[in-house]
Amino acid sequence: MANLKDIRKRISSVRSTQQITRAMKMVSAAKLRRAEDQVAASRPYSEKLQSLLANLANRVEASSHPFLGEGSDAPVHVLLITSDRGLCGAYNTNLSKAAEAFMASEQGEGASLTVCGRRGNDYFKNRSDRVLTAHVNVPGGVSLELAREVSAEAARLFTEGDAGSVYLVYSEFKSAMTQIVRTRQILPIDRGEASSQQDGDGVSAEGDDEATDYLFEPGAEVLLAGLLPRYLETTVYQAMLEGAASEHGARMTAMDSATRNAGEMMDALTLQMNKARQATITGELMEIIAGAEALNG
């Protein structure tokens, strides 16, 4: 049995760890509220843009824009969105494994990879040589500028024929306890499903607009040329916001679990310390009694 000094040191260490995890939980909870507000504010814009795109794309030929074409026979390209920081449970591992499983499938055979987030880059650094670009430790975190840079790179690979299609792997935020890994094709754009792609939940976005007869000025092709790159940027940016909210939710849940585990460990160590102290006291009493009996005998 460990001595009392060692047990007290362990209790002190666990208590310090518990204070850190409790503080990290509070910080993540505050960040989660802001991230959740950003996700909620951006979803209506993304949904309306999808609805408008569906209405507009169905009025033109597929050959009117490269994003509406079939794509080349080149391997697919995968955009993986993870976080730069850890201590958020299995959040990053689930995303990286989902991307790895997709790349190992027949559909993703020979796929190249763009990683946003240091954790995803660390996962694939020693597992694959197909990482073309890695965006890690980006100052300011999620930003529209980063989404534009990532989407522009994906668009270039697709239009130049280096990628036959582009898939996005990200975490959809449902709640602090629930984050769902999604694998979604973003290029080429499926005109028939553009209005129903609701980041994976299959709910139509403003479905009533599909039957609305709009008058376009200038022509639909001109508007489409400006709308499709904006749609791609918005899709990537929305996925980044969803990922940020999912990260904070996963970290808050993980730190809450760690705080409770630390409390249970301290209770167990305190019980062990009390037993060790009682055993020490009992031993000393037995020695005193034995000594007294020896003197009396």
Q: What is the per-residue burial (b if ≥16 Cβ within 10 Å, else e) of 126-154?
A: eeeeebebbbeeeeeebeeebbbbbbebb
Task: Write the pLDDT tens digit of every residue in 241-276.
Answer: 999 999 999 999 999 999 999 999 999 999 999 998
* 280: Cβ contacts below 8 Å, ≥ 6 apart: 4
Residue-averaged pLDDT of the chain: 87
Average pLDDT of span 172-189: 93
Tell me the pLDDT band of 191, cut-offs 50, 70 and 90: low
Which DSSP letter does residue 68 get?
Answer: G
Cβ contacts of residue 221 below 8 Å, gap of 6+? 60, 64, 65
SS3 label, residue 123: helix
What secondary structure does DSSP assign to 178-189, as a single string?
-EEEEEEEEES-
Q: Looking at the annotation, which residues are catalytic? A: 88
Instruction: Check residue 79 and give its pLDDT.
Output: 97
In this model, does residue 88 exceed pLDDT 90?
yes
Q: Which domains does the chain have, with CATH numbers?
A: 4-20+256-296 (1.10.287.80), 29-254 (3.40.1380.10)
pLDDT band at 85 (very low <50, low <70, confident <90, very high): very high
